[in-house]
Amino acid sequence: MLCALALSVLPAGARAAQDKVEPPASEWARGNRVLLGVTQPRIGLSAQWLFQRAANGDILLEKEESRAGRTEAGSLILVGSGALVARNLVLEPGRELASINGPLLVLQLVLRLLERGVPGGPARLKGDVRIDLSERAAGIKVAGIGAEGEFFAPWTLKGSVGPGASGQVKLELEFVSASGARSGAPAHETSIAGIWQAGPAASLPDSTPLRGWRVYQIRPVVKPRGAINIVGLGASAPMAFATLGEVRRQVAEWADAGARRARWQCS
């Protein structure tokens, strides 16, 4: 049982590395640069998120958000599944991962909607494509770092997707999903405008300086839930590193230490 518990709390990226069979990524999942403008009136959210993926899979997120009258702007770097690096953002203690999981869950939603609306991928776009879809039974499941979510059915999708300059894809989508509560509860409305691009990978070399950035280790944490404790993912207290390369080396050391503990527990 100790072995099963140790493996179950690994970050999503670490679990994927252990899977023997992985589903092939869609062409939409191969985008290295995605700009999204997102509004969700029900929760008072207006956001602009720019996702850029490096060749090694690290993700740079530059975000501007206004939520219920509170505005913030800054940057995050997700280093593998082992560290979150933040600049100019105040991360709420105990909810540090929410700063990147919210945008990641919406990004996954957009990719799933593009897969449904233009299943042939961006190469099939010869002009603007009108999208008008509805689904009454199956929701759309998404996952982040130690977080899972679902946009509940019934849902509808309307909008357009079309080619832009330099291999870009322009999109304007209106997505409405059920609240997941009792029948008749207000639906969730999400307006999305953005640009998808395969393009070159983002440049995030080891020499990238991190002065003014704070580094959080992503690690297993125990949280109370009712009469029991559950194991999930959380973040450490903030740390300082000189360069991104130092963080990557530390993440590798944390992963090795975690693997050694797992082997010990499974022996």
Buried-state track 139-174, b at ≥16 Cβ within 10 A, e below 16? bbebebbbbebebbbebebebebbeeeeebbbbbbe
Question: Residue 166: inside a domain, yes or no?
Answer: yes
- Look at residue 222 in the predicted model and tell me its pLDDT: 78
Of 197, 230, 248, which closes a domain?
197
- Range with the poorest average pLDDT among 43-57, 127-141, 169-183, 240-254: 169-183
In a domain, 40, yes or no: yes
pLDDT in tens, 22-59: 445 689 999 999 999 999 998 899 999 999 999 999 99
Read off the pLDDT band of 19 (50, 70, 90).
very low
Does residue 266 come out as left (phi exceeding 0), alpha (psi in the -120 to 50 range) or beta?
Answer: alpha
pLDDT band at 10 (very low <50, low <70, confident <90, very high): very low
Query: Among the three residues 167, 197, 227, which one is the final residue of a domain in this structure?
Result: 197
Say what the pLDDT of residue 257 is: 74
Q: Which residue has the higher pLDDT, 216 or 147?
A: 216
Which residues have CB under 8 Å from 77's CB, separation 6+? 58, 59, 60, 61, 84, 85, 204, 213, 244
Euclidean distance between CA atoms 89 and 14, whole angstroms: 26
What whole-number distance in Å separates Cα of residue 142 and Cα of residue 21? 19
- DSSP annotation of 206: T
Give me the number of domains the chain comprises.
2
pLDDT at 183: 62
pLDDT digits (tens, 9 = 90+) for 107-154: 999 999 999 999 989 988 999 999 999 999 999 999 999 888 999 999
Question: Is pLDDT at 184 greater than 80 in this prediction?
Answer: no
Among 197, 223, 258, where does a domain finish? 197
Domain residue limits at 48: 13-19+26-197
Cα(164)–Cα(162) distance, rounded to whole angstroms? 7
- Of 195-199, 228-232, 237-241, 247-251, give the lowest mean pLDDT range: 228-232
Co-location of 88 and 178 in the same domain: yes
Helix or strand holding residue 251 (H, E):
helix 244-266
Residues 160 and 227 in one domain: no
> Does residue 193 form part of some domain?
yes
pLDDT surpasses 50 at 237? yes
8 A C-beta contact, residue 202 and residue 53: yes
C-alpha to C-alpha distance for 4 and 91, rounded to whole angstroms: 31
User: Above 90 in pLDDT, residue 159?
Assistant: yes
Residue 192 clears pLDDT 50, i.e. is over it: yes
- How far, in Å, CA of 123 to CA of 80, rounded? 29
Residues 44 and 117 in one domain: yes
Greater model confidence, 217 or 21: 217
CB 197 within 8 A of CB 212: no
Contact 129, 213 (CB under 8 A): no
DSSP, collapsed to helix, strand or coil, labels residue 181 as coil
Rounded to two decimals, what is the model's pTM? 0.85
CATH number of the domain within which 132 lies: 2.50.20
Q: What angle do CA 81, 188, 146 make, to 5 degrees?
A: 15
User: Domain for residue 205, yes or no?
Assistant: no
Same domain? 164 vs 75: yes
Give the whole-angstrom CA distance, residue 195 versus residue 162.
Answer: 10
pLDDT band at 15 (very low <50, low <70, confident <90, very high): very low
pLDDT of residue 133: 97
> What percent of the chain has pLDDT above 70?
85
Specify whether 191 is located in the same domain as 222. Answer: no
Place of tokens 């190469």: 123
Q: State the SS3 of 50-90.
A: EEEEECCCCEEEEEEEEECCEEEEEEEEEECCCEEEEECCC
Residues 169 and 223 in one domain: no
Please indicate, yes or no, whether residues 179 and 222 belong to a single structural domain of this protein: no
Residue 188 lies in a domain: yes
Give yes or no: residues 31 and 161 share one domain.
yes
Q: Angle CA(145)–CA(113)–CA(9) in degrees, nearest 5?
A: 15
146 and 31 in a common domain: yes
| pLDDT value of residue 180 | 77
